[in-house]
């Protein structure tokens, strides 16, 4: 019997459940997509190429999955609590009619189970679709010829993992629900609708003092962050975190009273429904100051992580494409550690590889052992020196600006070869180079035709030829290898950042939406009264939208302020690796934010309005 009742309850109050359900399903979907990452075409391709960062991706994904599962579990428990609050009256009626508490909680548990199962199934279905889209997107983003690589796989492993994780979460929710119902007292259930919210009243002075104190706390935390940097994790770092949290909390705590007092004298207070909206909001801001603090911090994380990952991604791209100017660099380490120059192209031709057909250009450059007494640069930071004439010839080939005698000696402004060998080279005059010992021959080659095909042909030829080097230590640095490396890092950074950012953003927005919608029944009564007093529909709608907007914007405002300061510190860290283009990452983040947060805001407005309109 209780099963039937549960099923009907879910069907009937689907609207109530909608936000809960959507949040659940979206959480499941996200979780699936990121658990299924190891079956993505691009990642499989990278794994085939023995890319070291693939291991890293998998490991980090595992760690983050666990972390995200904890965040989502918190969100689901929170959402469930709101749902329960809304239905207290109904549960009370069951109990009043003589249903034993055990059965009441069984109904609830069955409802949770139903919703959970439905969310799990639709979430995974959505996840498969999302996974497919992401796959296409990554292939399109990172590969030139997507057709051959793209082959979509359904990841049973990810589905199983998602089911297990969320199964545990749902189990937790069910236990929580069951216990809280069997503990509740009937009188509390029946009277739940009537308890009035205490609106604490504090003097303007106290509010202002609290507000100022909050600002000071935040200011202190910001100063600590900016002066000490992001990554010095010690007791003071945690102190800074605590100070920031306390500051946010105090500001939210005092803001309602503060703003209310400030606006009260203003004639606009008595205009239209302004007064009503402000009061609606201020009461809630006061009671919700703890959750608002959490939301503003979640938003900080969301904004910060997204912007940082996009910024870092840009930086890596710029850095690495600067570092691999050639399709192939052949490094000749000489014979038994002794320098020995050779015709590398002829060496390759001897393996049967058609160099005339495949190579467009080849330029050999010799670098010399760095000697501080000659070059003036320390051996610790610079392993080699390159003569000015060689450097300029390379630059001329690539159409880049050359150096003159006066600027010497200096660090190479542009990479002279592929890979890490380009780092730590100093340009010296030809005369100075004559006094140095030659260290290594490096041959830069550009291909004719498709890089991937040439690479493959070359690899095949070298594999067949036995010891083509004739005793020389020769290493090849392919541009595409670097590119795959880069791609791995890029995917790692971007996916991690976007994934975490999305989860944080989703959680923050969902908590806000739930808070707003859970007030729907209280609001319905109030808006009904407004209607009776003659407030037109347009007027009421405007009031409701402003009310929801205030609730969404306030934590966002503080979150953005946090994020702006946090990004300053984060950019310092990224700057170590290369240039930072903060405009691009900010723009992308803003877009991202607008889409998710704005979407939730819109849905909340619609849902709240429907709830208010329905109960006439």
Which span (67-75, 126-134, 228-236, 273-281) binds other proteins, by CB under 8 A? 273-281
Among 103, 274, 521, 581, binds other proteins (CB under 8 A): 274
Q: According to DSSP H, which parts of 87-100 are helical? A: 88-96
Cα separation, 218 vs 443, in Å, equals 56
For other proteins, the binding residue among 62, 229, 239, 268 (CB under 8 A) is 268
Binding residue (CB under 8 A) for other proteins from 31, 34, 276, 368? 276
Q: Closest CB to other proteins among 97 and 533? A: 533
Determine if 464 is a binding residue for other proteins (CB under 8 A): no
Residues 6+ apart with CB under 8 A from 383: 370, 424, 425, 439
Indicate the helix (H) or strand (E) that contains 436.
none
Q: How far is the CB of 154 from other proteins (least distance, A)?
A: 52
Measured from the CB atom, the residue of 343 and 537 that comes closer to other proteins is 537
Sequence-distant (6+) residues with CB within 8 A of 114 are 6, 7, 10
Ramachandran category for residue 581: left, alpha or beta (phi over 0 → left; psi -120 to 50 → alpha): beta
Q: Is 295 exposed, middle or buried (0-12, 13-18, 19+ CB in 10 A)?
A: buried
Q: Which is nearer to other proteins, 199 or 591 (CB)?
A: 199
If the CB atoms of residues 194 and 437 are measured against other proteins, the closer one turns out to be: 194
- Residues in 157-196 that interact with other proteins by CB under 8 A: 196
Write the interaction track for other proteins spanning residues 519-538; mark x where CB under 8 A is met and - where it is not.
Answer: -------x--xxxxxxxxx-
**Binding piece for other proteins, criterion CB under 8 A, among 148-156, 270-278, 301-309, 344-352:** 270-278
Q: What would the x/- binding string for other proteins be over residues 537 to 556, using CB under 8 A?
A: x-x-----------------
Query: What span, in angstroms and rounded, lies between the C-alpha atoms of 344 and 359?
Result: 12
State the number of binding residues for other proteins (CB under 8 A).
27
Q: Which of 271, 380, 467, 583 binds other proteins (CB under 8 A)?
A: 271
Minimum distance, C-beta of residue 193 to other proteins, in the bound complex (Å): 12
| Separation of CA 299 from chain center | 11
Cα 184 to Cα 178: distance, rounded to the nearest angstrom: 10
The answer to the question of residue 269 lying near other proteins (CB under 8 A) is yes
Q: Which stretch binds other proteins (CB under 8 A): 8-16, 234-242, 276-284, 290-298?
A: 276-284
283 sits near other proteins (criterion: CB under 8 A): yes
List the one residue from 270, 405, 406, 467 that touches other proteins (CB under 8 A).
270
Closer Cβ to other proteins, 88 or 153, answer by number? 88
- Using CB under 8 A as the binding rule, whether residue 203 contacts other proteins is answered as no
DSSP 351: T
Distance between start and end Cα atoms, the chain:
32
Q: Which helix (H) or strand (E) holds 467?
A: none
Pairing of strands 328-332, 474-478: antiparallel
**Contact residue for other proteins among 261, 279, 350, 363 (CB under 8 A):** 279
HSE-CB for 452 with a 13 A CA cutoff: 7
Cα angle 350, 352, 356; round to 5: 85
Interface segment toward other proteins; rule CB under 8 A; list 264-272, 321-329, 422-430, 555-563: 264-272
Q: Which of 47, 99, 171, 275 binds other proteins (CB under 8 A)?
A: 275
3-state helix, strand, coil in the chain (%, to 5): 75, 5, 20
Measuring CA to CA, which residue among 178, 182, 192, 25 is closest to residue 108?
178
Among 280, 418, 586, 604, binds other proteins (CB under 8 A): 280
H helix intervals, 229-369: 235-264, 274-287, 289-323, 344-349, 355-358
Q: Residue 415 in 3-state DSSP?
A: coil
Q: Kindly tell me which of 257 and 304 has the beta carbon lying closer to other proteins.
A: 257
Beta carbons within 8 Å of 539's beta carbon, 6+ residues apart: 272, 273, 530
Q: Does 614 help bind other proteins (rule: CB under 8 A)? A: no
* 102/268 with CB nearer other proteins: 268
Q: Of the candidates 423, 473, 417, 468, which has an alpha carbon nearest to the alpha carbon of residue 445?
A: 417
Pick between residue 287 and residue 429 the one whose CB is nearest to other proteins: 287
Which of 18, 59, 133, 199 contacts other proteins by CB under 8 A?
199
Q: Which two tokens stand for residue 52?
A: 């070291």
Residue 185 or 266: the one with the smaller Cβ distance to other proteins is: 266
Closer Cβ to other proteins, 258 or 600, answer by number: 258
| Contact yes or no for 35/157 (Cβ under 8 A) | yes
Q: What is the smallest separation between the CB atom of 527 and other proteins, expressed in angstroms?
A: 10
Give per-residue burial for 452-468: e unless 16+ CB within 10 Å, then b: bebbeebeebbeeeeeb
- Tell me which residues touch other proteins (CB under 8 A): 196-197, 199, 267-276, 279-280, 283, 526, 529-537, 539
């Amino acid at each position: 019997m209780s099963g039937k009742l549960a099923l009907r309850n879910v069907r009937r109050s689907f609207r109530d459940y909608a936000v809960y359900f959507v949040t659940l399903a979206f959480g499941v979907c996200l979780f699936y997509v990121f658990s299924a990452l190891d079956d993505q075409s691009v990642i499989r391709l990278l794994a085939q190429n023995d890319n070291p960062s693939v291991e890293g991706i998998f490991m980090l994904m595992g760690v983050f999955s666990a972390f995200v599962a904890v965040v989502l579990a918190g969100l689901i428990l929170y959402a469930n609590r709101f749902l329960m609050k809304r239905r207290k009256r109904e549960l009370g009626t069951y109990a009043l009619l003589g249903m034993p508490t055990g059965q009441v909680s069984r109904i609830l548990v069955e409802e949770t189970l139903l919703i959970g199962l439905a969310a799990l199934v639709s979430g995974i279905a959505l996840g498969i679709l999302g996974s497919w889209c992401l796959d296409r997107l990554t292939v399109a983003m990172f590969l030139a010829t997507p057709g051959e690589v793209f082959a979509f796989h359904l990841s049973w492993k990810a589905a199983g993992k998602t089911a297990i994780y969320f199964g545990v979460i749902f189990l937790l929710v069910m236990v929580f629900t069951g216990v809280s119902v069997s503990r509740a007292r009937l009188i509390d259930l029946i009277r739940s609708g009537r308890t009035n919210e205490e609106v604490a009243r504090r003097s303007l002075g106290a509010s202002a003092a609290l507000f100022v104190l909050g600002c000071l706390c935040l200011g202190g935390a910001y100063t600590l962050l900016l002066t000490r940097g992001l990554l010095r994790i010690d007791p003071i770092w945690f102190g800074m975190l605590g100070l920031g949290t306390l500051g946010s909390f105090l500001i939210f705590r005092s803001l309602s009273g503060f703003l209310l007092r400030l606006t009260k004298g203003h004639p606009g207070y008595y205009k239209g429904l302004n007064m009503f909206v402000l009061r609606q909001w201020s009461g809630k801001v006061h009671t919700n100051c703890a959750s608002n603090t959490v939301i503003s911090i979640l938003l900080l994380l969301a904004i910060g992580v997204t912007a940082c990952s996009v910024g870092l991604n840009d930086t890596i791209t710029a850095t690495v494409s600067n570092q691999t100017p050639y399709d192939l660099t052949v490094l000749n380490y000489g014979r038994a550690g002794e320098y020995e120059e050779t015709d590398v192209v002829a060496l390759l031709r001897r393996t049967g590889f058609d160099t005339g057909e495949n190579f467009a250009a080849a330029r050999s450059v010799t670098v010399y052992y760095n000697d501080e007494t000659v070059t003036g640069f320390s051996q610790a930071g610079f392993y080699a020196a390159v003569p000015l004439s060689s450097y300029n010839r390379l630059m001329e080939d690539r159409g880049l600006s050359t150096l003159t005698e006066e600027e010497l000696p200096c660090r190479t402004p542009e990479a002279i070869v592929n890979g890490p060998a380009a780092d730590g080279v100093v340009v010296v005059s030809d005369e100075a180079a004559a006094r140095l010992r030659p260290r290594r021959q490096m041959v830069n080659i550009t291909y004719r035709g498709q890089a991937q095909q040439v690479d493959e042909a070359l690899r095949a030829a070298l594999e067949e030829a036995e010891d083509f080097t004739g005793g020389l230590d020769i290493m090849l640095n392919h541009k595409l290898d670097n590119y795959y490396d880069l791609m791995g890092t890029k995917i790692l950074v971007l996916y991690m950042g976007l994934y975490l950012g999305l989860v944080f953003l989703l959680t923050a927005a969902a908590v806000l939406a739930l808070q707003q919608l859970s007030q729907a029944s209280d609001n319905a009564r109030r808006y009904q009264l407004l209607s009776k007093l003659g407030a037109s529909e347009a007027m009421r709608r405007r009031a409701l939208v402003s009310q929801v907007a205030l609730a969404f914007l306030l934590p966002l405002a503080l979150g953005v302020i946090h994020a702006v300061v946090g990004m300053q510190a984060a950019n310092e860290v990224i700057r170590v690796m290369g240039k930072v283009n903060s405009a691009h990452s900010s723009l992308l983040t803003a877009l991202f934010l607008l889409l998710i947060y704005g979407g939730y805001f819109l849905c909340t407005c619609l849902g709240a309005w429907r709830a208010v309109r329905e109960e006439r």
